[in-house]
Amino acid sequence: MTHSPVHVMCIVGARPNFMKAAPLIEALNGRKWATITLIHTGQHYSRAMSDLFFDALSLPKPHVDLQVGSGSHGEQTGQIMIRLEPLLQRHRPDLVVVFGDVNSTVAAALCAAKLGIPVAHVEAGLRSFDRTMPEELNRVVTDQVSEFLFTTERSARENLIREGLAEAKIFFVGNVMADTLLKHVEQARALQTRRTYGLSHQAYGLLTLHRPSNVDDPRMFKEIMAAVKELAEDVPILFPCHVRTRERLAVMPNLLGTHVGRQGIILLEPLGYLEFLSLMCDAQLVLTDSGGIQEETTVLGVPCVTLRHNTERPVTIEHGTNTLVGTSRTRIVEAGRAVLRRHHPTRRTPDLWDGHAAERIVDVLERHFHADSSESERTDSAPMAYSSSCPSHIHVQKVQ
């Protein structure tokens, strides 16, 4: 009796997906029972938002790039489903793996589940309890249609159970983003990217800002930037600017005033994974509205001031170095100055953020699929043949 390998299709689309997929693909590559295909939806497509990460993380070239590009939420989600469905129908993977909470995550999960293909959600169960955040809706829907819910922190299990999901589907495996960070941190430290900007160790702040609620509303954006300008009088602030935020700045040219420059706010293009990690390692203070950066600073023990009213990652506050301050100018300045006055706080790394989360995920999958495949011959899955028979709008590339 021959056993065909278990076909695992990993689907990524946006910048925060790439560092989550990398360790899982590496861990799966080491198992003979699995064959992996990697699909890029093309939600993020520019070099700075995508290619740089594939290079730094040694991710394989995607087998297929769906090239959906930018659009409204409905358009983007719909286009991903339209372009992914024929691929899933043709290749019928044994499992579709999705990551995090971006539009690509929910679109791929829904598409696969409707075809009866099991879905694994990496980073399941996180909840901000704020349904005005697009990511919260993506998280809730993705979890509801997933068969494997891989969680990063204990709060996630409680959230999933409260929403009626079965205990048996939930696996607390730890944090794959921490796997990637721990693997690259020494390389990143050695880069000393801060020197490019003439900055010393722990003598600068690092800012990221891209949530629609913070940058799309000009009043809110102004309020936050007023706080940043005030802090930039105490310490230089590096600001690698997300494309969404850069677009908003372009229509408010006077927002930063005279604060842009060597001793104030230093505006940068979006950075690669290692360069940004290097800057985080050496920063005195990180200001952000990102989800992932709250976790990365927790692992690094770098103080993080989060410019949001809620977080879906409470463990970063309980165990880590994260403080939620909201978006008022005075609160941001107070919290920022408090960090600048004291030494780095002590922290405890959350449970299972130890660099081995991806291996735990693969162990769970192996117990499930490999045991099954040993019992009976598998005939239902057709791993991708890289043929030119894909629909013409799908761009197929041979794996490199």
- How near is the Cβ of 7 to ligand UD1 at its closest, in Å? 26
* Antiparallel, parallel or unpaired: β 119-122 and 285-288: unpaired
Instruction: Give yes or no for residue 128 binding ligand UD1 (CB under 6 A).
Output: no
Instruction: Give yes or no for residue 295 binding ligand UD1 (CB under 6 A).
Output: no
Instruction: Give yes or no for residue 15 binding ligand UD1 (CB under 6 A).
Output: yes
Q: For ligand UD1, which is the closer residue by CB, 100 or 350?
A: 100
- How near is the Cβ of 200 to ligand UD1 at its closest, in Å? 29
Q: Are 346 and 296 in contact (CB under 8 A)?
A: no
- How near is the Cβ of 372 to ligand UD1 at its closest, in Å? 33
Tokens of 96: 């579709």
CA distance linking residue 245 with residue 251, whole number of Å: 10
- How near is the Cβ of 158 to ligand UD1 at its closest, in Å? 23
3-state class percentages of the chain: helix first, strand second, coil last, to nearest 5: 45, 15, 40
Q: Are 60 and 400 in contact (CB under 8 A)?
A: yes
Kindly write down the DSSP assignment for every residue of 297-340, as one continuous string: HHHHT--EEE-SS--S-THHHHTSSEEE--S-HHHHHHHHHHHH
Interacting residue with ligand UD1 among 35, 37, 79, 103 (CB under 6 A): 103
Q: Which listed range, 37-45, 321-329, 343-351, 384-392, lies at the site for ligand UD1 (CB under 6 A)?
A: 37-45
Interacting residue with ligand UD1 among 16, 272, 314, 320 (CB under 6 A): 16
* Antiparallel, parallel or unpaired: β 64-65 and 395-396: antiparallel
Residue found by looking up tokens 């995508």 in the block: 50
By CB under 6 A, what part of segment 209-248 binds ligand UD1?
210, 242-244
For residue 170, the cross-strand partners are 149
Instruction: Give yes or no for residue 102 binding ligand UD1 (CB under 6 A).
Output: yes
Asked if 210 is an active-site residue, the reply is yes
- How near is the Cβ of 177 to ligand UD1 at its closest, in Å? 13
Residues 6+ apart with CB under 8 A from 375: none
For residue 238, the cross-strand partners are 206, 266
Instruction: Give yes or no for residue 108 binding ligand UD1 (CB under 6 A).
Output: no
Residue found by looking up tokens 């704020």 in the block: 130
Beta strand extents in 23-177 (DSSP E only): 34-40, 64-65, 95-99, 119-122, 148-151, 170-172
CA distance linking residue 63 with residue 308, whole number of Å: 37
Q: For ligand UD1, which is the closer residue by CB, 49 or 317?
A: 49
- How near is the Cβ of 16 to ligand UD1 at its closest, in Å? 5
Instruction: Give yes or no for residue 134 binding ligand UD1 (CB under 6 A).
Output: yes
Alpha-carbon torsion, ordered 353, 94, 31, 14, to 10 deg: -50
- How near is the Cβ of 371 to ligand UD1 at its closest, in Å? 35
Among 63, 210, 242, 259, the one annotated catalytic: 210
Q: For ligand UD1, which is the closer residue by CB, 44 or 194?
A: 44
CA distance linking residue 124 with residue 8, whole number of Å: 18
Per residue in 297-307, is it b (16+ CB within 10 Å) or e — as a string?
bbbbebbbbbb
Q: Are 210 and 134 in contact (CB under 8 A)?
A: no
Query: How many Cα atoms within 13 Å fall on the side-chain side of residue 238?
Result: 28
By CB under 6 A, what part of segment 183-212 binds ligand UD1?
210
Instruction: Give yes or no for residue 78 binding ligand UD1 (CB under 6 A).
Output: no
Tokens of 257: 């005033």
Instruction: Give yes or no for residue 14 binding ligand UD1 (CB under 6 A).
Output: yes
Q: For ligand UD1, which is the closer residue by CB, 144 or 213?
A: 213
Interacting residue with ligand UD1 among 94, 135, 282, 312 (CB under 6 A): 135
- How near is the Cβ of 334 to ligand UD1 at its closest, in Å? 26
Instruction: Give yes or no for residue 140 binding ligand UD1 (CB under 6 A).
Output: no
Q: Are 233 and 265 in contact (CB under 8 A)?
A: no
Q: Which listed range, 99-107, 181-189, 219-227, 278-286, lies at the site for ligand UD1 (CB under 6 A)?
A: 99-107
Q: Which listed range, 11-19, 25-33, 111-119, 154-162, lies at the site for ligand UD1 (CB under 6 A)?
A: 11-19
Active-site amino acid positions? 210
Residues binding ligand UD1 (CB under 6 A): 14-16, 43-46, 49-50, 70, 101-103, 134-135, 210, 242-244
